[in-house]
Amino acid sequence: MKNGGDMIAVVGATGNSGRAAVKELRALGENPLCVVRNADKAKDVLSADARVAVAEVTDRASLEKALKGVDRVFIVTGHNPQSGEQQLNIVEAAKAAGAKFIVKVSGGASMATADSETPVGRGHHMVEQAIRESGLGWTILRPGLFMRNVLAQAALIKNDSKIALPFAPDLPLSFVDTRDVGAVGAHVVKNAERYVGKTIEYSGPASTYAAFARDFSAVLGRTINYIGVTFEQAEAALKARGLPDWLINHQLVIARLAANGGFSQAHPQPIRDILGREPILTRQFVEDHKAAFS
Ligand SMILES: NC(=O)c1ccc[n+]([C@@H]2O[C@H](COP(=O)([O-])OP(=O)(O)OC[C@H]3O[C@@H](n4cnc5c(N)ncnc54)[C@H](OP(=O)(O)O)[C@@H]3O)[C@@H](O)[C@H]2O)c1
């Protein structure tokens, strides 16, 4: 394990992709610094001997203190209307702390744009620009649509044996498991010299929500129907669940981009090249999360 000069930090280490990155880095012989906001959660979801520093992403000074002596930083924090400003804090703190290389998990090319209709997309674009202009080495990661998004359908699957989302049943979608999101990040941040200056799109092979539902049927042993609902129906369902307006808007923006093919192009090859194995498939995802849907 390396110390000091070549230290790697994972910011957002308790998140789904972040913890996968930490796990893979440890498997690669690294002992990354896990930057988290909640030390108790870190104890639960990271290994007992994980190296942890506590910092809020809203607090630049605490981030800079946490990142002192860190060489490379992997950034994967949660999305919210302020996530752009939050990640700018991380980039500036990393630079001030003396880091040399940043890897950022961004959004898909269709949503991480300057004029995105969701603040999450505009935030990703702004942070990408800041990273590209930072003078540091960088790699931008563009994973596909997270399979985990379907966890929000768990109650409907359990109670009504259906999935209802605003995506056409046969629309090709590039799903990715957050374990692959984090694992790719781990390899990229560890082997920075191979990936510097690259923007990497990656996902599993193209699938559809209808096929995802068939995986649920096979694994759960009962038929799970997929229903492609209209944007209006989806909006009403999200409102009924009490989601905040920005998140409802965000999800509808994603659905509209997807309907226009914005998430249809699959990129499984980078996962094969970087991880030396096949991407995790939706069937595997359902098997591994069966308890949440049963
Ligand atoms: N959903 C998709 O389909 C999709 C697709 C492509 C890209 N993305 C991008 O992927 C990223 C999310 O990845 P994920 O789902 O793996 O993340 P996640 O599970 O939501 O985890 C987010 C991490 O950020 C931490 N965090 C949030 N607010 C913080 C704060 N104020 N101070 C310190 N830490 C904070 C969380 O801490 P706690 O653990 O304490 O909460 C957690 O460790 C977002 O940028 C999103 O736009 C998502």
* Alpha-helix runs per DSSP H in the chain: 16-27, 39-45, 60-66, 83-97, 119-132, 154-160, 178-190, 192-195, 209-220, 231-240, 245-259, 269-275, 282-288, 290-293
* Spacing, Cα 286 to ligand 1 middle (Å): 21
Q: Is the CB of 84 under 6 A from ligand 1?
A: no
Distance, CA of 12 to CA of 16 (rounded, Å) = 9
Question: Which residues have C-beta within 8 Å of that of residue 101, sequence separation ≥ 6?
Answer: 71, 72, 73, 136, 137, 138, 139, 189, 192, 196
pLDDT above 90 covers what percent of the chain?
A: 97
* pLDDT at residue 90, rounded to an integer: 98
Q: How confident is the model over 108-153, as pLDDT tens digits?
A: 999 999 999 999 999 999 999 999 999 999 999 999 999 999 999 9
Q: Is the CB of 78 under 6 A from ligand 1?
A: yes
Q: Is the CB of 228 under 6 A from ligand 1?
A: no
* Spacing, Cα 114 to ligand 1 middle (Å): 21
Q: How confident is the model over 236-269, as pLDDT tens digits?
A: 999 999 999 999 999 999 999 999 999 999 999 9
The closest alpha carbon to 127, from 42, 25, 11, belongs to 11
Q: Does domain 4-143+178-203+265-279 have CATH number 3.40.50.720?
A: yes
Question: Which residues have C-beta within 8 Å of that of residue 13, sequence separation ≥ 6?
Answer: 19, 21, 22, 32, 34, 35, 36, 42, 46, 50, 52
pLDDT above 70 covers what percent of the chain?
A: 98
* pLDDT at residue 5, rounded to an integer: 53
- By the 10 Å C-beta count (0-12 exposed, 13-18 middle, 19+ buried), 85 is classed as middle
* Spacing, Cα 223 to ligand 1 middle (Å): 32
Q: How confident is the model over 269-291, as pLDDT tens digits?
A: 999 999 999 999 999 999 999 99
* pLDDT at residue 4, rounded to an integer: 44
| pLDDT, averaged across the chain | 96
* Spacing, Cα 280 to ligand 1 middle (Å): 20
* Spacing, Cα 16 to ligand 1 middle (Å): 7
Domain boundaries, the chain: 4-143+178-203+265-279
Q: Is the CB of 57 under 6 A from ligand 1?
A: yes
Three-state SS for 257?
helix
Q: Which residue's CA is the nearest one to ligand 1's atom 27?
A: 78
Q: What is the pTM of this model?
A: 0.97
For residue 3, pLDDT beyond 50: no
197 backbone φψ class: left, alpha, beta (φ>0; ψ -120 to 50)? left
Position 13 confidence tier, pLDDT thresholds 50, 70, 90:
very high
The closest alpha carbon to 33, from 52, 57, 55, belongs to 52
Q: How confident is the model over 49-103, as pLDDT tens digits?
A: 899 999 999 999 999 999 999 999 999 999 999 999 999 999 999 999 999 999 9
Question: Which residues have C-beta within 8 Å of that of residue 128, sequence separation ≥ 6?
Answer: 104, 106, 112, 140
- Mean pLDDT within 229-240: 97
Amino acid found at 101: F
Strands 225-228 and 162-165: parallel
Q: Is the CB of 282 under 6 A from ligand 1?
A: no
Position 47 confidence tier, pLDDT thresholds 50, 70, 90:
confident
Q: Is the CB of 79 under 6 A from ligand 1?
A: yes
From 11, 17, 174, the mutation candidate for ligand 1 (largest count of ligand atoms within 8 A of CB) is: 17
Q: Is the CB of 107 under 6 A from ligand 1?
A: yes
* Spacing, Cα 78 to ligand 1 middle (Å): 2
Strands 51-54 and 33-36: parallel
- Mean pLDDT within 21-48: 96
Three-state SS for 163?
strand
For residue 2, pLDDT beyond 90: no
Q: Is the CB of 166 under 6 A from ligand 1?
A: no
